[in-house]
Structure 1
């Protein structure tokens, strides 16, 4: 692909930027506004979930009006809830980051999800200049599988954190409880679209793998030097780790938004 200077829309995620840079393409621009793009991702069942959420929000309001719930929150309890939420966020982010780092550790006894060994037939063919599409696809698949395994682990841990933070917000105030209801409804309504987008990443990683190794590795594009092959391998692994860290950042954004909402509530009460 031709190498273009990438221009990114404000607010585009690091994951999108990383993929765009790796594949040397410009990210797609959207002429429509955010609400229009959001509505296109919500199907009928998602619309039903959002409608149900509105009913639950009205129920919370009625309970407040009836005196069953109070908007008055304890300042000390709010600070404690915020600290616990922030600590949980840091703890989970650190655990996932360490899991990713461990996957790249040469010591195979470290970490649970380990990088695959490089296919010997692929390495030999690369050095001899005899790589074909079949070998490329076979060599790329274990790395896509590794990425998917990391995604699964990441998703489970982030979802556990999100549930915990949601419970903290629900207990703190009716206003934050309403936010949790809306957050959960949107998550359910957009889950299919979000899952499809994240599942595209291992496929795009395989494309990057093919583009990284399908051409000669030498300086003059006609040599198959061992040192050049080693550099290509190093560059690919660095890009793989970069993608995983960028996806972690993207997955944590929604949880961070909940914590920021709690922080604003606590600060406004001071």
Structure 2
């Protein structure tokens, strides 16, 4: 069984591996990215990509005295990753070294177990982190494309191709990532059911105890953090690739406008 799992998860993103381990029934083991990509791009998208790929690369190069901004963007990438990672790990409840940017939900005072087991606050918590990631990474990605456009024609074409892919796939990506909290809802239900089944028959369930260290809710908080960190890594891959390409560019050339 372990060998089979390795075959189905090898070379997958960390996010898919985390979801496969947490909810294996939710992931299609026969997922084919190339086939799915062809289904996602419509005729208009294909024309846009064809235009970018066949654009003229005859722009002349001029010499610059100042280096490109690859180093600054590398630092911005590291800072963005660090800030978003810290925001995920500092949940404000089980890890509260400082005030949390987005606080992990806990049961309200006097809440009944039924009310406290509502997943809605945790859904909103996850969506808030997704909005945080989306805004920060979109700004960084736009800066990376601007910097690439100032280098060779090939680098400028890469920036245009990235923009075309982003426009074509943005809605599909947004819809797919929006399903992650719904998958986590299943994990939440599993954790809660296990908690209820482990309660002694004569012990009432007190939601006030759920925020204690070692609780089932802390375990779910760690589940959520693991998925968020894997999603962050996935979201950063395109811009990290652009910045890596920028680092390989000639530091003293740009295309003539």
| TM-score category of the 2 structures, normalised to the smaller one | 0.7 to 0.9
State the match for 1:248 in structure 2.
Answer: 232
Supply the distance in 2 between the matched residues of 1:220 and 1:143 (Cα, whole angstroms): 23
The structure 1 residue matched to 2:121, chosen from 122, 130, 142, is 142
Supply the distance in 2 between the matched residues of 1:249 and 1:157 (Cα, whole angstroms): 13
Residues 11, 210 of structure 1: alpha-carbon distance in 2 compared, 3 angstrom cutoff: same
Supply the distance in 1 between the matched residues of 2:52 and 2:16 (Cα, whole angstroms): 35
5 Å matches for 1:192-211? 192-211=171-190
Aligned residues: 244
Residues 25, 52 of structure 1: alpha-carbon distance in 2 compared, 3 angstrom cutoff: closer
Residues 149, 216 of structure 1: alpha-carbon distance in 2 compared, 3 angstrom cutoff: closer
Supply the distance in 1 between the matched residues of 2:91 and 2:195 (Cα, whole angstroms): 28
Residue 116 of structure 1: CA displacement?
1.8
Alignment of 1:185 onto 2:175 = no
Give the SS at the match of 1:210. Answer: helix
Structure 2 spans left out of the alignment, 5+ residues? none
Q: Answer 1 or 2: which has greater helix percent.
A: 1
State the match for 2:60 in structure 1.
Answer: 70
Residue 179 of structure 1: CA displacement?
0.8
Structure 1, residues 226-267: CA drift from partner, whole Å, max 9, x if none?
889843122111111111111110100111111222233349
TM-score by length of 1: 0.76
| Cα RMSD, aligned residues only | 3.5
Structure 1, residues 120-153: CA drift from partner, whole Å, max 9, x if none?
566x53xxxxx5xx763x2x11011101011001
The structure 2 residue matched to 1:87, chosen from 75, 88, 91, is 75
Give the SS at the match of 1:214. Answer: helix
Supply the distance in 2 between the matched residues of 1:31 and 1:235 (Cα, whole angstroms): 29
Alignment of 1:116 onto 2:105 = yes
Give the SS at the match of 2:179. Answer: helix
Alignment of 1:237 onto 2:221 = yes
Higher alpha-carbon deviation: 216-225 or 146-155: 216-225
The structure 2 residue matched to 1:166, chosen from 130, 139, 145, is 145
Q: Is the 8 A contact 1:50 1:185 kept in 2?
A: no
Supply the distance in 2 between the matched residues of 1:26 and 1:221 (Cα, whole angstroms): 32
Supply the distance in 2 between the matched residues of 1:4 and 1:207 (Cα, whole angstroms): 26
Supply the distance in 1 between the matched residues of 2:128 and 2:219 (Cα, whole angstroms): 21
Supply the distance in 2 between the matched residues of 1:100 and 1:40 (Cα, whole angstroms): 33
Residues 40, 176 of structure 1: alpha-carbon distance in 2 compared, 3 angstrom cutoff: same
Structure 1 spans left out of the alignment, 5+ residues? 126-130
Give the SS at the match of 1:171. Answer: coil
Structure number with the bigger relative contact order (C-alpha 8 A, sep ≥ 6) is: 2
The structure 2 residue matched to 1:265, chosen from 216, 241, 249, is 249
Supply the distance in 2 between the matched residues of 1:172 and 1:73 (Cα, whole angstroms): 10
Structure 1, residues 10-38: CA drift from partner, whole Å, max 9, x if none?
32111111112122447323375x43221
TM-score by length of 2: 0.79
